[in-house]
Amino acid sequence: MSAQIIDGKQVSTEVRERVADEVAEFIAGGGHQPVLATVLVGDDPASHVYVANKLKACKAAGIGSVHHELPAETNQRDLITLVRALGDDDGIDGILVQLPPPDHIDADAVIAAINPAKDVDGLTATNAGLLAGGRPGLVPCTPAGVIELLDHAGTELEGAEAVIVGRSNLVGRPLISLLLGRNATVTAAHSRTRDLPAVCQRADVLVAAVGVPGLLGAEHVKPGATVIDVGINRTDDGLKGDVDFDQVVEVAGAITPVPGGVGPMTIAMLMANTLEAARARSLAKVWG
């Protein structure tokens, strides 16, 4: 039997509408309009599309935005100076530096310059450490979106076997903590894992986040498992996920498509994080 298709477009629309309502309530209750600052360095066409979509989503949610577009030859010191200034600017609640930056810029050094209270990507050492310690903080958008999709699909996480393939700072590592926080039994698989099909076969929840088109096939999936495909790979045949959808849809209980699965969730969760950062900054002003 064919799996339930988890519709990321629908879930992301629901999250964005919820955030828009909450932004309006926050402002009506005396809060300030949340503001996101985006920083884009260079000419990567995909990055330009992503940032344009983020700015559009801000507008629709009633969130203000300030966009900084810098030439590809911008040096690291100037970029860090800008990121620090945004961190000190009381009119800014969230800072998003679009990744990856051009090759001559060290992304880690730029991330380290982001004020953790405004780190709506959840990438600073402060927020990554809070998440790893099971404490509240700003959570990276894509893994937060994965959890929303699992909840929407009604997938039981308590006690479930969850296997994450991929260990990136943006997705795999934060997901380990998020799923542990929901009391799943978590396995982190990666490029050196021996017998990947056997490890994946254990999963009630299988998440693919490696960036290798079609890596996971039917032989990796336990019948009835929920399969979340975070991969967005540009191939000659168009956008492909890390999961061979046509094979796996016949085995899984539920599956996200690519495109239209995890992708739309990232922006929705960015809106949610920007509101969360604005609320927390507003409370910090009251209580110190």
3 near 255, Cβ under 8 Å? yes
Contact call for residue 95 and ligand GUN (CB under 6 A): no
Contact call for residue 96 and ligand GUN (CB under 6 A): yes
Contact call for residue 112 and ligand GUN (CB under 6 A): no
- Which of 98, 118, 240, 244 is labelled catalytic? 98
SS (H, E, C) 189-243: ECCCCCCHHHHHHCCCEEEECCCCCCCECHHHCCCCCEEEECCCEEECCEEECCE
Tokens linked to 258:
């690519």
Could you say which of 121, 229, 244, 276 contacts ligand GUN (CB under 6 A)? Answer: 121
Which residue lies nearer to ligand GUN by CB, 54 or 182?
54
Buried b (16+ CB within 10 A) or exposed e, 102-129: beebeeeebbebbbbbbbbbbbbebbbe
Which residue lies nearer to ligand GUN by CB, 99 or 132?
99
> Which span (8-16, 96-104, 159-167, 239-247) binds ligand GUN, by CB under 6 A?
96-104
Q: What are phi and psi of 106, to 5 degrees?
A: -85, 110
What does the alpha-carbon distance between residue 175 and residue 147 come to, in Å, rounded to a whole number? 8
Which residue lies nearer to ligand GUN by CB, 100 or 223?
100
Could you say which of 5, 99, 132, 218 contacts ligand GUN (CB under 6 A)? Answer: 99
What does the alpha-carbon distance between residue 165 and residue 206 come to, in Å, rounded to a whole number? 8
What does the alpha-carbon distance between residue 132 and residue 207 come to, in Å, rounded to a whole number? 19
How do beta strands 233-235 and 238-240 pair?
antiparallel
Could you say which of 187, 266, 273, 274 contacts ligand GUN (CB under 6 A)? Answer: 266
Residue with tokens 């290798």, as numbered in its chain: 212
Minimum distance, C-beta of residue 229 to ligand GUN, in the bound complex (Å): 15
Q: Which residues pair with 223 in a beta bridge?
A: none
Q: 121 catalytic, yes or no?
A: yes
Residue nearest to ligand GUN (CB): 99
Which residue lies nearer to ligand GUN by CB, 143 or 214?
143
9 near 262, Cβ under 8 Å? no
Dihedral of alpha carbons 147, 135, 281, 171, sign: negative
Which residue lies nearer to ligand GUN by CB, 31 or 211?
211
Which residue lies nearer to ligand GUN by CB, 74 or 187?
74
Q: 98 catalytic, yes or no?
A: yes
Nearest to 281 by CA among 39, 31, 27: 31
Minimum distance, C-beta of residue 269 to ligand GUN, in the bound complex (Å): 9
Minimum distance, C-beta of residue 198 to ligand GUN, in the bound complex (Å): 31
Residues 216-255 that bind ligand GUN (CB under 6 A): none
- Which of 93, 118, 119, 121 is labelled catalytic? 121
Residues 126-155 that bind ligand GUN (CB under 6 A): 141-142
Catalytic (active-site) positions: 54, 98, 121
Contact residues: ligand GUN, CB under 6 A: 96-99, 121, 141-142, 170, 266
